Structure 1
Amino acid sequence: RLTVEEMARRREKGLCFKCEERFTPGHKCKQNFLIEFVDAGDEEPEFVEERETEEVEVLDDEAEISVHAMAGTKGSRTMRLPAWVKDRRVTVLVDNGSSHNFINTTLSHKLKLPTSMVEPFEVRVANGERLRCSKVYRGVPIKFQGVTVKADLFALPLVGPDMVLGVQWLEGLGDVTINYRKGVMKFETDDGLVTLKANEGSTKEVGLKSIEK
């Protein structure tokens, strides 16, 4: 089981949360693991070796979201991108400090996205807080600057960005080049090279006390 401090250490060194090898987009661990989720209020979820169990839809890794993603503050490894979902303009935070993809709960209701229920689990905020999640929105089309991608989004009460795309999304892109200083992200698709540019506009920044529990 990884502590918050251990996760921070591995992230700082660019190591995988599961196997402690160097993490790069498309990284595959030599040892497969599953997460055993428990109801909120019980013991913390643990990493356990893969074994035959009942088929329950759970995440492949411990879910974590960075403080920057929750509060909308700018981090050295984050990039804000303007995007559209349906007819609504949204702000998407690309954040390799967050393990999965998330959407603001209020926004998901306004968009009336089809909902899928998952085994309830807790998402660890990098500052040690925990948030409960039980809903996912599958294959949500997100339109960026001329290209449309699809992502599975877990519902959380985000305060800053409308959506967070984390390692879960970045891994699926294959080779990705990100220049955080210039705010430019590049990756290949079947249609050719895609270049996305960051939104330099302000994003609502809040203190952690404003984050909904």
Structure 2
Amino acid sequence: MKLRGKIRSRKVMVLIDCGATHKFISLEVVRKIGLPTTATKNYDVVMGTSESVTGKGMCKGVVLELQGLTIIEDFLPLDLGSTNVVLGMKWLGTSRSIEVNWKLLTMKFQLGDGWMTLKVDKGLNKSRISLKAMMKTLQNEDSQGTLRIPCNAIRPHQCPNNISVIDELGIQKLFEEVQFGFL
């Protein structure tokens, strides 16, 4: 589940992942925000891609704001790609009970004597494409040199039928119109 959150008033993308064992924070966020890191021994983490990554250090007492919930936790800094924060089983296991509604994309969990509901940010669940993958698609014989992009990815222009077809010569204009980057 992907949600928007804040650390020190800075927007971050948070992934709640029951497949992750611990709580992680991206090295990029640690650097940009200037979070202090406590020295630790090196640790190895197997990522979802099956790649093993070595990390070191711990960011203690990080305050993460998430949809009205304040979470104060220790995080292991790692290169997380486009994800800023991962809340894994170490965090999920602190709740006595969790209910996930995959249709509504919500997670309800016990918080003290009450319940808290977090809702997925649907805008964060869109796949990003790298320039390399986009160029490979354009060069594919079946694509005939065109790239189909959902209209909601292009601003401020509107497209008929919610689809825009852009030839290779128009690709530069596309890059000027599409908003790329992280939160």
TM band (smaller chain):
0.5 to 0.7
Q: Secondary structure at the match of 1:117?
A: coil
Q: Which of the residues 88, 107, 125 maps onto 1:185? A: 107
2:73 maps to 151
- Runs (4 or more) in structure 1 with deviation over 3 Å come to 202-207
**Runs of at least 5 residues in structure 1 that lack an aligned partner in the other structure:** 1-78
**Is the counterpart of residue 205 in structure 1 residue 128 in structure 2?**
yes
**What is the distance in 1 between the residues matched to 2:23 and 2:114?**
24
CA deviation after TM superposition for structure 1 residue 172, in Å:
1.1
2:47 maps to 125
Once the two structures are superposed, residues 158-177 of structure 1 have per-residue CA deviations (whole angstroms, 9 ceiling, x without a partner) of: 11211111111100122111
Q: Which has the higher contact order (CA 8 A, sep 6+)?
A: 1
Is the contact made by 1:102 and 1:154 (CA closer than 8 Å) also made in structure 2? yes
**Runs of at least 5 residues in structure 2 that lack an aligned partner in the other structure:** 134-183
**What is the distance in 1 between the residues matched to 2:60 and 2:100?**
26
Q: Given residue 205 of structure 1, which amino acid in structure 2 is its aligned partner?
A: R
Once the two structures are superposed, residues 109-141 of structure 1 have per-residue CA deviations (whole angstroms, 9 ceiling, x without a partner) of: 111112112110111124432111111111211
2:153 maps to none
Q: RMSD value over aligned CA atoms? A: 2.1
CA deviation after TM superposition for structure 1 residue 82, in Å:
1.2
Instruction: Answer 1 or 2: which has greater helix percent.
Output: 2
1:171 maps to 93
Q: Given residue 72 of structure 2, which amino acid in structure 1 is its aligned partner?
A: K
CA gap 1:135/1:181 in 2 versus in 1, 3 angstroms: farther
TM-score where L is the length of structure 2 = 0.65
**Is the counterpart of residue 110 in structure 1 residue 16 in structure 2?**
no
CA gap 1:83/1:126 in 2 versus in 1, 3 angstroms: closer
CA gap 1:86/1:125 in 2 versus in 1, 3 angstroms: same
Q: Secondary structure at the match of 2:57?
A: strand
CA deviation after TM superposition for structure 1 residue 180, in Å:
2.7
**Is the counterpart of residue 142 in structure 1 residue 64 in structure 2?**
yes
For the pair shown, the structure with the greater C-alpha radius of gyration is 2
CA gap 1:167/1:206 in 2 versus in 1, 3 angstroms: farther
Count matched residues: 131
